[in-house]
Amino acid sequence: MSSHLAIVPAYNEEASVASVVRELQRHAPEFDVLVIDDGSTDATRDVARAAGARVVRLPFNLGIGCTVQAGYQFALENGYDYAVQVDGDGQHDPREVYRLLEYLHAHPDIDMVTGSRFRELCEDGHRSTASRRLGIRLFAGVLSRITGQRVTDPTSGFRMTNRRGIELFARDYPHDYPEVEAVLMVHAHRLKSAEIPVTMRPRTTGVSSINASRSAYYMLKVTLAIFVGLFRERPVIERGDEPPVAAEASI
Q: Please classify residue 164 by burial: count the beta carbons closer than 10 Å to its beta carbon, then call 0-12 exposed, 13-18 middle and 19+ buried.
A: middle
Say which entry of Mg ion, ligand GDP, none residue 209 contacts (CB below 5 to 8 A, set by partner kind): ligand GDP
CA 179, CA 226: separation in Å to the nearest integer? Answer: 11
For the CB of residue 92, give the shortest distance to Mg ion in the complex, in Å. 8
Is residue 89 involved in binding Mg ion (CB under 5 A)?
Answer: yes
For the CB of residue 232, give the shortest distance to ligand GDP in the complex, in Å. 24
C-beta closer to ligand GDP: residue 217 or 237: 217
**Apex 242 CA angle, 238 and 245, nearest 5:** 80
For the CB of residue 101, give the shortest distance to ligand GDP in the complex, in Å. 20
For the CB of residue 90, give the shortest distance to Mg ion in the complex, in Å. 8
Is residue 161 involved in binding Mg ion (CB under 5 A)?
Answer: no
CA 175, CA 181: separation in Å to the nearest integer? Answer: 9
Is residue 93 involved in binding Mg ion (CB under 5 A)?
Answer: no
Say which entry of ligand GDP, Mg ion, none residue 125 contacts (CB below 5 to 8 A, set by partner kind): none
Query: How many of the other CB atoms lie within 10 Å of CB of 136?
Result: 21
3-state secondary structure of 215: helix
Is residue 91 involved in binding Mg ion (CB under 5 A)?
Answer: yes
Say which entry of Mg ion, ligand GDP, none residue 195 contacts (CB below 5 to 8 A, set by partner kind): none
CA 136, CA 224: separation in Å to the nearest integer? Answer: 15
